[in-house]
């Protein structure tokens, strides 16, 4: 009788790492001096940020007339960029919350960077809310605060007010989740710190973590509670963002498919951005043993799934426009594909529907170069998707005399560039001063997901084992 065997899953951690190796490898970039590559990237990012900041202040000083908006197209790059950045922020919470609840071990190496990306992307999105207010010093008027202006209250029936609540809640929960996950690692950095200043700063943020069983138990409870709170937010935030459009009566916007379609698109673009960031991190910080091909392939599978959902949504929109029998609705979609902005529509279709199908090939799905290139293409396509939804629906009104074209100005482009400078400046600071991989969570999966079983003594690093062959033989 022959034995039935099944293939063992490929390891998530390679190189036969021990617990001490994990600490050493991930703490290295925090404790060492900035590398030459990091310094160059940070300098470029700060220069872009300073240029963008000057353009944003000029936009506020002169007014929104410096943008390419007109009476017909009253929303364009500002809201396009806002929705794009909010979408990018979705992958972090999905990886940290939903995959935690489903006990997916591959999340442990990428969740920290993804959560940081979420927070910085939401801040970039919020900057566009402030920009297109025109009067940012009155931003607090969007909040239902007691005031001395009589009965001045926000319009609770407006989706724009729902946006304020959804995004502020999402940002708060994501920030707490990210920070709570950092605490054990901050304590590790604190204990390894050589200078008093570092020990004090990391110690203050570690909030007295002592690594006791009771502390770990509370940490686990807290993680599950926050994951439970965060999971509905993954679905609700972009649903509410989609209602900025779906609750209007403009042809091309007035459709019930927007909420699930926007959520799938957000996860799609968010995972693509995570791929771009972690592929750079694994090379620059030499973390190939922790962010492996298995992690990359798993994320590419999510990109393939959500990209296919988005493709179905595009086709469904066309079907519903025809099935509705409303000529204005039909015209809006035909105009997208064949009108003056046809190039943006077909760029969107190519980048979001056709290109991700290459990931059905296992060789492409496991290729670093292909993954990086296709992830960039996906995010370009998702930006075009938001541009197509917003501008092509507005630029053709019911009256032909109101038809107009939108042409971006230098300040439309520069204010967008500002958000990239802001995002990468924050992300580079994070990658230098905080561990980019969650050491504590990687250690929890090292026994079950490592290439080799680690040394049972956590204080013995791989380099130290060479000196005692007998010991090595016993433990390996």
For 85-98, write each residue's pLDDT tens digit: 988 888 778 777 88
User: Residues 142, 145, 150, 153: what is their CA dihedral angle, to the nearest 10 degrees?
Assistant: 40
Q: Residue range 428-457: average pLDDT?
A: 76
Neighbour-count burial for 68-97, b at 16+ CB within 10 Å, e otherwise? bbeebbebbbbbbbbbbbbbbbbbbbbbbb
List phi, psi (to 5°) of 288: -60, -25
Of the candidates 368, 414, 369, 465, the residue with the CA atom closest to the CA atom of residue 128: 414
| Domain map (residue ranges) of the chain | 19-142+154-448
pLDDT greater than 70 at residue 453:
no
CATH number for 19-142+154-448 (one of 2.40.50.140, 1.20.1630.10, 3.20.20.70, 1.10.10.10): it is 1.20.1630.10
DSSP 437: S
SS3 450: strand
- Decide: pTM greater than 0.75: yes
Query: N- to C-terminal Cα distance for the chain?
Result: 32
Lookup: tokens for 366: 């496991």
Rounded distance between C-alpha atoms, residue 432 and residue 32, angstroms: 9
Lookup: tokens for 58: 């000029």
SS3 13: strand
pLDDT digits (tens, 9 = 90+) for 139-152: 887 777 776 666 66
Rounded distance between C-alpha atoms, residue 384 and residue 80, angstroms: 9
Entry field: residues in the chain: 476
Local confidence band at 474 (pLDDT 50, 70, 90 cut-offs): very low
Neighbour-count burial for 237-253, b at 16+ CB within 10 Å, e otherwise? bbbbbbbbbbeeeebbb
DSSP 361: S
pLDDT greater than 80 at residue 164:
yes
96: left (phi over 0), alpha (psi -120 to 50) or beta: alpha
Local confidence band at 240 (pLDDT 50, 70, 90 cut-offs): confident
Rounded distance between C-alpha atoms, residue 254 and residue 419, angstroms: 29
SS3 192: helix
Average pLDDT, the chain: 83
Residues 203 and 190: beta-carbon distance below 8 Å: yes
pLDDT greater than 90 at residue 49:
yes
């Amino acid at each position: 009788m022959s034995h039935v065997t099944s293939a063992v899953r490929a390891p998530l951690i390679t190189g036969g790492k021990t617990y001490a190796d994990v600490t050493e490898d991930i703490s290295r970039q925090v404790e060492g001096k900035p590398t030459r590559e990091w310094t160059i990237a940070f300098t470029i990012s700060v220069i872009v940020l300073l240029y963008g900041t000057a353009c944003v202040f000029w936009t506020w000083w002169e007014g929104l007339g410096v943008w390419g908006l007109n009476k017909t197209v009253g929303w364009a790059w500002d809201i396009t960029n806002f929705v794009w950045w909010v979408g990018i922020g979705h992958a972090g919470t999905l990886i940290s919350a939903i995959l935690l609840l489903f006990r997916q071990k591959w999340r442990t190496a990428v969740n920290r960077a993804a959560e940081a990306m979420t927070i910085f992307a939401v801040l970039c999105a919020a900057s566009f809310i402030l920009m297109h207010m025109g009067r940012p010093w009155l931003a607090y008027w969007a909040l239902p605060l007691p005031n001395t202006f009589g009965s001045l209250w926000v319009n609770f029936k407006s989706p724009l007010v729902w946006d304020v609540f959804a995004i502020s809640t999402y940002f708060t929960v994501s920030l707490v989740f990210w920070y709570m996950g950092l605490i054990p690692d901050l304590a590790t950095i604190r204990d390894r710190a050589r200078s008093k200043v570092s020990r004090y700063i990391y110690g203050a943020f570690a909030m007295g973590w002592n690594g006791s069983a009771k502390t770990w138990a509370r940490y686990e409870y807290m993680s599950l509670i926050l994951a439970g709170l965060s999971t509905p937010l993954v679905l609700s935030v972009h649903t509410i963002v989609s209602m900025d459009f779906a609750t209007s009566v403009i042809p091309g916007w007035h459709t019930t498919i927007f909420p699930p379609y926007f959520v799938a698109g957000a996860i799609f673009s968010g995972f693509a951005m995570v791929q771009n960031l972690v592929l750079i991190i694994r090379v620059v910080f030499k973390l190939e043993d922790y962010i492996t091909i298995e992690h990359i392939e798993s994320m590419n599978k999510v990109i393939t799934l959500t990209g296919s959902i988005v493709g179905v949504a595009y086709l469904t929109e066309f079907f519903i426009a025809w099935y509705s029998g409303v000529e204005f609705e039909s015209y809006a979609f035909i105009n997208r594909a064949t009108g003056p902005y046809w190039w943006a529509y077909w760029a969107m279709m190519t980048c979001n529907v056709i290109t991700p199908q290459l990931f059905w090939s296992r060789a492409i799905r496991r290729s670093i170069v292909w993954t990086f290139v296709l992830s960039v293409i996906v995010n370009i396509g998702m930006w075009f998707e938001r541009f197509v939804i917003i501008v092509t629906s507005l630029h053709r009104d019911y009256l032909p005399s109101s038809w107009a074209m939108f042409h971006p100005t230098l300040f439309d482009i520069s204010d967008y560039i500002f958000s990239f400078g802001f995002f990468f400046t924050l992300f580079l600071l994070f990658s230098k001063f905080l561990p980019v991989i969650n050491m504590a969570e990687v250690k929890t999966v090292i026994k079950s997901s490592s290439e080799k079983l680690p040394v049972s003594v956590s204080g013995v690093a791989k380099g130290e084992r060479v000196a005692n062959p007998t010991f090595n033989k016993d433990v390996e």
